[in-house]
């Protein structure tokens, strides 16, 4: 795949005085439904959700509805990473819990500013990296600084030259080439080191591996979760389900998504919900309850283009 700097940057929704931007940007509808069915009555269900996106530079939320059944009051707030977060508690007995979000969002097409330094930036300097990005160079729950990860990152980037973009591109291509997408080979709590040894996994594992490799050579990387629109002519892996990809920070440009699962940059087909250090910060649904240990979970995701 030939990825040139001219393919990288999109317009920003801050420039809304150009009607062509709003007309050209594709709109999508997303339905995400999670149903828990318990073998017996449960109580004291406590849950945190990341199902509603905030407005990102290249994406805006037109509408967002998040609801749960049985009905209960939800608290909406921003977490430490500015993600829109919902929290609710159910003290009454129930044997079924349904959590649903319905979104309509608009993305922007690619647009290239001539002043971008993204392809030639040789290294990061202290003044280039805002303080808020330093957390994306550190270890996190699922991403460690294992010596083997560091050695592999050095080998991958050695021939890529000093510029950051070719290094990140080389890491993405290596993960895509060396790892096999295999559903069921890992689980939601699989650590980077386990996936690295297995050389297989799903988008969550591909993302954790790339983040570990980038951080090992001093490239700030964060975890992005969301969805992927797979058009009628596309054959992208991860559509019609929750998807994940890394984002790399570039001074003067911001965060750019690299998807090692599909070996492509995150363009207007990608619908971003939340960002963090790794999956632990952005899980769509996370909770606990008291009662039966037997639970059947069903997840449905539908992504379609809106008129």
DSSP states of 139-203 = --SS----HHHHHHHHHHHHTT-S-HHHHHHHHHHHHHHH-EE-TTSS-TT--HHHHHHHTEE-H
In a domain, 2, yes or no: no
Q: Please check whether residues 130 and 257 belong to one and the same domain.
A: yes
Q: What is the CATH number of the domain that holds 263?
A: 3.10.620.30
Rounded Cα distance, 6 and 223, in Å: 24
Buried b (16+ CB within 10 A) or exposed e, 200-233: bbbbbbbbbbbbbbbbbbebbbbbbbbbbbbeee
Is residue 81 a contact partner of residue 119, using CB atoms and an 8 Å limit? Answer: no
In a domain, 230, yes or no: yes
Rounded Cα distance, 161 and 43, in Å: 57
Give me the pLDDT at residue 133, please: 87
Give me the pLDDT at residue 69, please: 96
Task: Name the nearest CA neighbour of 31 among 227, 302, 241.
Answer: 302
Is residue 186 a contact partner of residue 197, using CB atoms and an 8 Å limit? Answer: no
- The sign of the dihedral angle between the CA atoms of 271, 274, 276, 282 is negative
Q: Please check whether residues 100 and 32 belong to one and the same domain.
A: yes
Strand 243-250 and strand 221-228: pairing? antiparallel
Phi, psi at 3, each rounded to 5°: -105, 110
In a domain, 10, yes or no: no
* Digit-coded pLDDT (tens) for 9-62: 455 555 544 544 455 789 999 999 999 999 999 999 999 999 999 988 889 999
Q: Please check whether residues 33 and 174 belong to one and the same domain.
A: no
Q: Please check whether residues 93 and 135 belong to one and the same domain.
A: no
Is residue 85 a contact partner of residue 78, using CB atoms and an 8 Å limit? Answer: yes
Rounded Cα distance, 307 and 71, in Å: 31
Q: Please check whether residues 96 and 145 belong to one and the same domain.
A: no
In a domain, 141, yes or no: yes
Is residue 205 a contact partner of residue 195, using CB atoms and an 8 Å limit? Answer: yes
In a domain, 198, yes or no: yes
CA 210 to the chain's CA centroid:
13
In a domain, 9, yes or no: no
Q: What is the CATH number of the domain that holds 101?
A: 2.60.40.2250
Give me the pLDDT at residue 5, please: 38
Q: Please check whether residues 56 and 187 belong to one and the same domain.
A: no
Buried b (16+ CB within 10 A) or exposed e, 123-136: ebeeeebeeebeeb
Q: Please check whether residues 63 and 88 belong to one and the same domain.
A: yes
Q: Please check whether residues 79 and 38 belong to one and the same domain.
A: yes
Domain that holds residue 44: 19-108+284-305
Buried b (16+ CB within 10 A) or exposed e, 268-294: bbbbbbbbbbbbebbbbbebebebeee
* Digit-coded pLDDT (tens) for 211-267: 999 999 999 999 999 999 987 666 788 777 899 999 998 877 788 999 999 999 998
State the total domains in the chain. 2
Q: Please check whether residues 264 and 195 belong to one and the same domain.
A: yes
Rounded Cα distance, 14 and 57, in Å: 7
Rounded Cα distance, 263 and 236, in Å: 10
* Digit-coded pLDDT (tens) for 55-81: 888 899 999 999 999 999 999 999 999
Is residue 248 a contact partner of residue 260, using CB atoms and an 8 Å limit? Answer: no
Task: Name the nearest CA neighbour of 69 among 95, 103, 42.
Answer: 95
* Digit-coded pLDDT (tens) for 272-285: 999 999 999 999 99
In a domain, 178, yes or no: yes
In a domain, 4, yes or no: no
Q: Would you place residue 123 in the very low, low, confident or very high pLDDT band (cuts 50, 70, 90)?
A: low
Q: Please check whether residues 239 and 127 belong to one and the same domain.
A: yes
* Digit-coded pLDDT (tens) for 150-203: 999 999 999 888 888 899 999 999 999 999 999 999 999 999 999 999 999 999
Q: Please check whether residues 273 and 179 belong to one and the same domain.
A: yes
Side-chain-facing half-sphere of 206: CA atoms under 13 Å? 32
Q: Please check whether residues 209 and 90 belong to one and the same domain.
A: no
Beta-ladder partners of 211: none
């Amino acid at each position: 795949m030939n990825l040139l700097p001219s393919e990288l940057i999109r317009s920003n929704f801050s420039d809304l005085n150009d009607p062509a931007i709003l007309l050209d940007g594709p709109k999508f509808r997303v339905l995400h439904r999670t149903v828990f069915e318990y073998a017996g009555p449960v109580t004291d269900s406590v849950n945190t959700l990341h199902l509603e996106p905030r407005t990102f530079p290249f994406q805006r939320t037109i509408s967002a509805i998040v609801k749960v059944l049985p009905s209960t009051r939800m608290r909406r707030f921003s977490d430490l990473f500015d993600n829109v977060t919902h929290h609710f508690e159910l003290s009454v007995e129930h044997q079924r819990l349904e959590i649903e979000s319905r979104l309509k969002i608009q993305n922007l097409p690619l647009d290239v500013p001539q002043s971008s330094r993204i392809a030639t930036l040789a290294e990061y300097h202290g003044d280039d990296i805002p303080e808020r990005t330093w957390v994306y160079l550190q270890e996190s729950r699922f991403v460690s600084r294992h010596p083997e990860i560091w050695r592999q990152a050095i080998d991958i980037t050695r021939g890529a030259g000093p510029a950051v973009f070719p290094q990140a591109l080389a890491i993405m291509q290596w993960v895509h080439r060396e790892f096999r997408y295999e559903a069921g080979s890992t689980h939601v709590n699989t650590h980077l080191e386990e996936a690295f040894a297995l050389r297989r996994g799903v988008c969550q594992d591909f993302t954790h591996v790339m983040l570990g490799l980038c951080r090992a050579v001093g490239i700030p990387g964060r975890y992005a979760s969301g969805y992927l629109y797979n058009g009628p002519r596309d054959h992208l892996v991860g559509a019609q389900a929750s998807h994940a990809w890394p984002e790399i920070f570039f001074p003067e440009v911001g965060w750019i998504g690299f998807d090692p699962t599909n070996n492509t940059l995150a363009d207007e087909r990608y619908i971003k919900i939340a960002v963090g250090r790794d999956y632990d910060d952005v899980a769509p649904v996370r909770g606990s309850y008291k009662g039966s240990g037997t639970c059947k979970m069903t997840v449905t995701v539908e992504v379609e283009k809106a008129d």
